[in-house]
Amino acid sequence: MQSSANWSKLLYVANEQKQGTIKQLRQVFRFVQSEKPVIVLYMIGALVVPIGAGIGLTIAFGLWLMPIVGALLGVLLALIIMSRFADKIGFDKLEGQPGAASAILSGITTGGWSFPNEPVAIDPKSMSMVFRGTGRPGVVLVGEGQVAKTRELLQKERKRIVRVLPEVKLIVLQIGDRDGDGFVTIRKLRRAIVKNKTTLNKGELDAINTRLKALGAFKPPIPKGIDPYNMKVNRRALR
């Protein structure tokens, strides 16, 4: 009886996960279709071509499984195409929006990376800001906003970290409209971070997080008339 109950529970969980995946795929498709209606034609083409090729191989060589293989391949290609469209639309909406870097950083978990939602440095006037993250490769600073002001914030935060963690690898990136010379586009931000090799073990990473937590965040002078507690990021624009 106990074994039967366990199996029933496992089947229920698996069914819930399956329904959740299908729901997510449906939501992504509706989102992409609302922005790019042409996605329907691309996905139909991705389905029809492999199935047609499978049927052709069956007729020519008697390979009866080929239509099934073609259908599976077609579904996979359709999902890949939908994913690429969704990524492009998402990045197009993020570019130029305050807090766009945070939206990307919050999704990076490989390599032991973790990023607080709030910036460690911010200039309220220009809305330039710096986000800090830690992971097995070391510490990363990501700045976005007005080029000159962001560079200034990055330099100040870099000095603070080097002072307390002189032997830890420090990666400094600034969001821009090109890649190279310390700049990275929002589209390639994730790749620029996760490509770094592991240099720390878990104990060392925990020690670094403790020291950075004690370091706190740099607080620049706040211009008159601005209430930092009422500053809000436009989350709707990041969706």
Say if residues 104 and 189 touch (Cβ distance below 8 Å).
Answer: yes
Total tally of structural domains belonging to the chain: 2
To 5 degrees, how large is the angle CA 48–CA 52–CA 57? 155
Tell me, yes or no, whether 54 and 127 share the same domain.
no
Question: What is the number of residues in the chain?
Answer: 239
Of 77, 94, 111, at which residue does a domain stop? Answer: 94
Tens digit of each residue's pLDDT (9 = 90 or more) over 10-19: 444 445 555 6
What is the structure's pLDDT at 149? 95
Tell me, yes or no, whether 121 and 72 share the same domain.
no
CA distances from 12 to 22, 25, 131 (A): 15, 20, 41
Say if residues 205 and 134 touch (Cβ distance below 8 Å).
Answer: yes
Tell me, yes or no, whether 13 and 90 share the same domain.
yes
Tens digit of each residue's pLDDT (9 = 90 or more) over 113-149: 999 888 999 999 999 999 999 999 999 999 999 999 9
For residue 126, the one-letter residue type is: S
Range of the domain at 223: 100-238
What is the structure's pLDDT at 156? 95
> What distance lies between CA 59 and its chain's CA centroid?
45
Give the percent of the chain with pLDDT over 90. Answer: 59
The most confident of the ranges 10-19, 57-66, 226-235 is 57-66
What is the structure's pLDDT at 29? 92
What is the structure's pLDDT at 17? 59
To 5 degrees, how large is the angle CA 15–CA 19–CA 21? 115
Tell me, yes or no, whether 57 and 104 share the same domain.
no
Q: Collect all residues with Cβ–Cβ distance below 8 Å to 16 and sequence separation of at least 6.
A: none
What is the structure's pLDDT at 2? 46
Please compute the mean of the pLDDT values over residues 92-98 and round it to a whole number: 82
What is the structure's pLDDT at 12? 42
